[in-house]
A and B are shown apart, each in its own frame.
Chain A
Amino acid sequence: MTSVRTLLEKPWIWSFVGAVVVWLATIAFTGGYGAGGMVTAALSLAVFTVIVGVGQMFVITLGPGNVDLSLPANIGLASAVAMKVMGGSDSMILVGLLAALACGAAIGAINYLLIWALRIPPIIATLSASFIIQSVDISYGRGLQIKPPPGFADFTNWQVLGIPVLAMLTVIFTIGAALALQRMIYGRSVLAIGQNIRAAWLAGVHVGRIRFLTYTLCGALGGIDGALLAGYFRGANVDIGNEYLLASIAVVVIGGTSVAGGKANVPGVWGAGLFLVLLLTMLNTFGVSAGVRLLLTGLIIVGVITAAGGEKAVR
């Protein structure tokens, strides 16, 4: 009984509960048909949200006002860079992935450079940066319809026993991220900065370096995500990352990470990612129109966040 109670007190449990409820509602509607396929599809789509969600989570944990709005543009540019470098040949897959990673990391570094040098709020800095990245992408990717190398496309769609391999790898990655957050000096520093940047600075945390690392990390994850998306959907395009602006923020917060910073939650990102994907699947299964789907998605997000409640007031 106590174990159930401690489980219920975990902030991330609600996102998983939500995901399961939505899944049950859908298979109740279809009469059990396609229950397994739905999980497979949800896992393979949730991966992309989880990867950027983890990056966004580290950034948001840095404290109020920290958020990376350049992720969609970043994903778009990195997907184009990856596809161009790979050039459709299997031997270049690794080089292409590294190029996407470097491209994303560079964008993250530039983001922090703007925040640091101009002392502007991260929201505005990453927003301005995203305008510029978008233009670079439009100009660079003009008429670009390069398909991913067959090996890479197969890899991103590869399943073992109905479980996407990419999802397994992402689970390993998120475990690593959780360890980094809770057990490594880097993660503890991020949390400390989010709780009180001045106290962290006085305690000897290298505030500037940690923030720089975090924005770079978030950018790099966006870059990798772009490359994987281009592989999964078999082609890069400018708009490929558009939905990940809202999705990356939504999974972080629904997953129980504090928007005020200093409190992060890795498992919740998975729960919320699955929840959002399954929610879309459910509404599609019900056959509702685009308007109703958006309306219900919004109402459910507001409902979930209201039910889960904000953290209690500090004062």
Chain B
Amino acid sequence: MTAIAPGTVPKASPRGSAARARMLRGLLPALSLALVLLAIAWLNPRAISYFGFNLMLNLAIPIALATIAQMFVIAGNELDLSIGTFVGFVGCVTATWLRDAPLIGILVLIGSIGVYALLGALIHLRNLPSIVVTLGMSFVWQGLAILILPKPGGKAPEWLLSIMSFKPPYVPFPILAALLIAAVVHFGLMRTSYGVILRGSGGNAAALRRAGWSLLKTKIVLFALTGLFGVLSGMALIGITTSADANIGNGYTLLSIAGVILGGGEFVGGRVSPIGAVIGALTLALAASPLLTFMHIPPDWQVAANGAILIIVLAARVLISRRER
């Protein structure tokens, strides 16, 4: 993928309303989350409680982490189609080696982050399309996961279970974790100088190279960060489900991409938002099942309802940004 999509036609927007449009754009992910929450509150007021949120947002932490992972590659104009099977692979390692032989488990997980970094280097040096490379890698991770854990099983390490079942006072743990993830990544990517360079590698790679920055290094860092958050996502997932399955993360590839886009990110130009991505992930996690269960939508149509929610939110985004222009 080249740095700048030749297809993007520059949007003509008068300067005065540009800032307002950007602000509204930034608020959209939060608005869609609020909408889903309102719908849930209206359909089932009892769900809006400490216990209810704990239950509904159960799987939000791994989804948010996987979305953040995807966000890093998207910031560099790449796409990771292997994140789902990678999360599954990490899950299998976590439920087996990390429990039985922690040292090997830790080494394998660090090694897998290293593989991600190497992929970034390979993609940059050979100028390869990341879609295809990660497509191939998705087979690799799945194959490894099946080799490690041919049948569903294994058990999460005790310390991981106790972290994931942590019950802080007043605020449900998933919400606390989401805030923490969003804050840490937002600071790192949006507020540090190297974060600007990382996003710049997606925004204008040519300018960055002329300014003397190594594009190889930015790509390696972005991919390594994806690997790191993929590992965290897999571990969090196993901490919740307590046992693993080689296919456990397969749905995360598409969920994570959808989460980044719902959160206001764009495929090209290094325009991503960590806070938006986490909100997008929460919206998807809530819209995925709790909302649909309360709406009494038959199981046959739950997948369709997911697609419809995605379309409605994106349509709202277009309506608002069109009015602003």
In whole Å, how far is A268's beta carbon from the nearest beta carbon of chain B?
A: 13
Cα distance A135–B303 in the bound complex, in angstroms? 6
Interface pair B146/A64, CB less than 8 Å apart: no
Cα distance A131–B79 in the bound complex, in angstroms? 20
In whole Å, how far is A71's beta carbon from the nearest beta carbon of chain B?
A: 14
- Indicate if A301 sits at the interface (CB-CB under 8 A): yes
- Indicate if B188 sits at the interface (CB-CB under 8 A): no
Residues of A close to B146: CB separation below 8 A: 289-291, 294
Interface pair A198/B143, CB less than 8 Å apart: no
- Indicate if A293 sits at the interface (CB-CB under 8 A): yes
Q: Which of A63, A253, A289, A302 lies at the interface centre, i.e. has the most chain B CB atoms within 10 A of its CB?
A: A302
B14-22, B29-37, B41-49, B305-313 - interface stretch:
B305-313
Q: Which of A292, A309, A310 lies at the interface centre, i.e. has the most chain B CB atoms within 10 A of its CB?
A: A310
Interface pair B9/A198, CB less than 8 Å apart: yes
Interface pair A65/B140, CB less than 8 Å apart: no
- Indicate if B135 sits at the interface (CB-CB under 8 A): yes
Tell me which of A69, A302, A315 contacts B136 (CB under 8 A).
A302
In whole Å, how far is B304's beta carbon from the nearest beta carbon of chain A?
A: 3
- Indicate if B5 sits at the interface (CB-CB under 8 A): yes
- Indicate if A259 sits at the interface (CB-CB under 8 A): yes
Closest A residue, CB atoms, query B322: A119
- Indicate if A189 sits at the interface (CB-CB under 8 A): no
Number of A-B contacts (CB under 8 A): 173
Whether A314 contacts B300 in the complex (CB less than 8 A), given A119-B318, A131-B310, A294-B142, comes out as no
Whether A291 contacts B144 in the complex (CB less than 8 A), given A64-B7, A124-B258, A305-B133, comes out as yes
- Indicate if B127 sits at the interface (CB-CB under 8 A): yes
Closest A residue, CB atoms, query B254: A127
Residues of A close to B308: CB separation below 8 A: 128, 131-132
Closest B residue, CB atoms, query A193: B7
Whether A301 contacts B301 in the complex (CB less than 8 A), given A198-B6, A309-B126, A310-B128, comes out as no
Residues of A close to B39: CB separation below 8 A: none
Tell me which of B141, B307, B314 contacts A120 (CB under 8 A).
B314
Interface pair A136/B304, CB less than 8 Å apart: yes
Interface pair A297/B143, CB less than 8 Å apart: yes
Closest B residue, CB atoms, query A260: B2
Contact residues of A between 229 and 253, Cβ < 8 Å to B: 246, 249-250, 253
In whole Å, how far is B282's beta carbon from the nearest beta carbon of chain A?
A: 18
Tell me which of A131, A193, A310 contacts B304 (CB under 8 A).
A131
Q: Could you list 27 A-B pairs, sorted by A, with CB under 8 Å?
A: A118-B318, A120-B261, A124-B257, A124-B314, A127-B258, A128-B308, A128-B314, A129-B307, A131-B310, A139-B300, A139-B301, A246-B135, A260-B129, A291-B143, A292-B147, A294-B139, A294-B142, A295-B143, A296-B143, A297-B143, A298-B137, A305-B129, A305-B136, A306-B128, A309-B126, A312-B127, A313-B127
Contacts beyond the supplied A65-B268, A301-B132: 14 A-B pairs with Cβ under 8 Å: A65-B7, A135-B302, A198-B9, A249-B135, A260-B2, A289-B150, A294-B142, A297-B139, A298-B138, A298-B143, A299-B136, A305-B129, A306-B126, A310-B128
Closest 4 CB pairs of A and B: A131-B307, A298-B139, A295-B143, A135-B304
